[in-house]
Amino acid sequence: MSEVITGGCLCGAVRYRCTAAPNNVGLCQCERCQRQSGSAFLMATVFARDAVEFERGELKVFAAFDDDGQGLYRHFCPTCGSAVMITLDRYPEIRSIMGGTLDDKSWLKPTYSLWTSSGQPWLVLPPGIRLHPDYPDGAVA
């Protein structure tokens, strides 16, 4: 992993850089993340808010709210549709950058997985990953 972490969307319209190491890397297996990623899970690389800088492009946002009115915002490229980032009302101090959008993904190593209760039965995660059946407080902050 380099000092500055860079990435962007599929078409290149959106580019970002992260100027600090991530707080953590995790997976989410909730049904919404499965739909967004088009896969069995979504990989989030969690950075401090101030470490994420967008150098090019604008993101569109899809908002969803839980029963308490807390928002989860999925940011994506309006041109190619690539999921780039998630932000949450409950954790305004972080930015979850989608692991697949990083230029160098070779160093990514998830340490936890959320919403395993919604996980696909055929998915076997590597040993050592903390498994959470739902969304525990403090899991991504």
* For the chain, percent of residues with pLDDT exceeding 90: 90
Look at residue 129 and tell me if it is in a domain: no
pTM of the model: 0.90
- What are the tens digits of pLDDT across the range 40-83? 999 999 999 999 999 999 999 999 998 889 999 999 999 999 99
Q: What pLDDT was estimated at residue 2?
A: 56
User: How many structural domains comprise the chain?
Assistant: 1
The 8-class DSSP code of residue 50 comes to: G
The CATH number for 60's domain is 2.170.150.70
Residue 81 domain boundaries: 5-116
Q: What pLDDT was estimated at residue 67?
A: 85
Pairing of the two strands 24-28 and 112-114: parallel
Mean pLDDT of 96-105: 97
